[in-house]
Amino acid sequence: MDKQLRIRPYQASDLEDILTIFDSNVPQYFAASERADLIRYLQEEIADYFVVLQQDRLIGAGGINYDADGTTARLSWDFIDQNSQKSGAGTFLTHYRIQYALAKENIDTLMVRTSQLAEAFYAKQGFHVLERITDHWAPGFDMVNMRYQP
């Protein structure tokens, strides 16, 4: 893994870079129609959201949201720039968020809702499939609900 990677909290000024990175993952990992959902998330639903930088260039982002039960955290809206994938940045960001969420005293369950296209990545990180809903995000993009069980 590149030692130049670092993580910091999201800032509103990161929006355009994040949208560019998201767009680099369409249509391989996201449907174009999901872009509006991402914008709404970043403007209205954000809880903890982080960006990953390589040197000083923003190359990815990902968040954590918390359920009303107060004990469940969910990894959300994560992606790495197409040109930086397979560099370890996604694993670095995911491990950071796992540790961040589970360090909270009240959190005892960690979930992720992803697509079948990222399912294997999350399985390598310790997540196990609980449910699959065909064409949930968009046609051809299933929702895979997974729980962290190290």
The predicted-structure confidence for 75-109, as pLDDT tens digits, reads as follows 999 999 988 888 889 999 999 999 999 999 999 99
Distance, CA of 96 to chain centre:
11
pTM: 0.90
pLDDT tens, residue by residue, 1-23: 446 899 999 999 999 999 999 99
